[in-house]
Amino acid sequence: MPEKNRVLVAMSGGVDSSVAALLLQEQGFELVGVTMKVWDYEGSGEVAVETSCCNLDSVHDARALAVKSGFPHYVIDLRETFNDHVIQNFISEYLSGMTPNPCVLCNSFIKWRALLEWADKLGCSHIATGHYAVVGNERGRYFVSKGKDDVKEQSYVLWGLSQENLSRTMLPLGAMSKDKIRQIARDSGFDRIAGKRESYEICFIPDNDYRKFLKFRAPEATAAIGKGEFRLADEQVVGQHEGYPYYTIGQRKGLNIALGEPYYVTATDPANNRVYLGKKEELSKSLLWIRNVNFQKYAEISPGMEVITKIRYKDPGTRSRLYPEGEEIRIEFENAAGAIAPGQSAVCYEGNDIVAGGIIERSE
């Protein structure tokens, strides 16, 4: 039987997860630390560059903190699962004209699943991570709420967590600021960890060049796509592009085309290898539909429920209403939202609490 005072802590070797462990130990919990190895940079060819994720230094830092603090530490090899479910999905989504969010998929279906499995093996009742968010519980429902630090707040990437996931999850950093977290690490004698740089890139694309990654991991598919036409909404051909997977809705930079004024990617047509361009106002949409819906705060919602919907990680959110339609939810914005990219996540909040989230299917 899992022990109620025993917690499995996910430790990346960074300052956030390290301080999460320190805080829980200070609160009297018995800890077991685990580092998840999801990506191997050795032998990764042209995409191998310095990264703060999954390298040996990070593993050593996590283990050193665990040893100094007096609790056991394990390394979990998730590379095969991560490749099969996250990386292959990332590639296939781009090749189908979508813009995926691998962090959401990884959290919901890889990391939490693995952590809970290991928690059961090691007799832990709960798992903990260094995310800047809060787990709430009202009327028998668990949900994620926004963290205190507006800059670091990470609730958006946790919309896919199930009730079972959340019932066993602890997020010790939710009510703290990044500056405070770094100070705790320094005060605890971990200056090296406290001084680590922030990591904003996708863990398996540390140079932030997903186009190069696609060419490296799917050379035949990307070569077969080849170059295509840039078109305007009226089908006027205005130039040539490098291939539709390399463009995302709302993109302005890197188009290498001069039309006298700013133009943005408004849509892609994978079937014909076309990329459509338009002015900024053409990006505005009043409706979107999400699939793979996960409900958090409520088991179901009433048609017309008012929420704030975020359509990307750093989006401040737009007032909107929700209308269930079978397996999907239709979201109607009070004021049109811009640059809605199919494949990204839309997350709906009531105040600071996640009501529901899903993958953007389409918009109009």
Q: Show which residues are catalytic.
A: 106, 203
Q: DSSP state, 14? A: S
Strand partners, 277: 265
Count Cβ atoms below 10 Å from residue 235 Cβ, excluding itself.
Answer: 9
Q: DSSP state, 261? A: S
Count Cβ atoms below 10 Å from residue 154 Cβ, excluding itself.
Answer: 22
Place of tokens 């085309």: 257
Closest C-alpha among 256, 254, 258, 278 to residue 266: 278
Q: State CA 20 to chain mean position distance.
A: 19
Secondary structure in 3-state letters for 53-91: CCCHHHHHHHHHHHHHHCCCEEEEECHHHHHHHHHHHHH
CB-based contacts of 68-72 (< 8 A; 24+ apart in sequence) = 68/189, 69/21, 69/22, 69/25, 69/31, 71/21, 71/25, 71/30, 71/31, 71/32, 71/33, 72/32, 72/33
Count Cβ atoms below 10 Å from residue 50 Cβ, excluding itself.
Answer: 9
CB 146 within 8 A of CB 33: no
CB 236 within 8 A of CB 271: no
Place of tokens 């630390």: 33
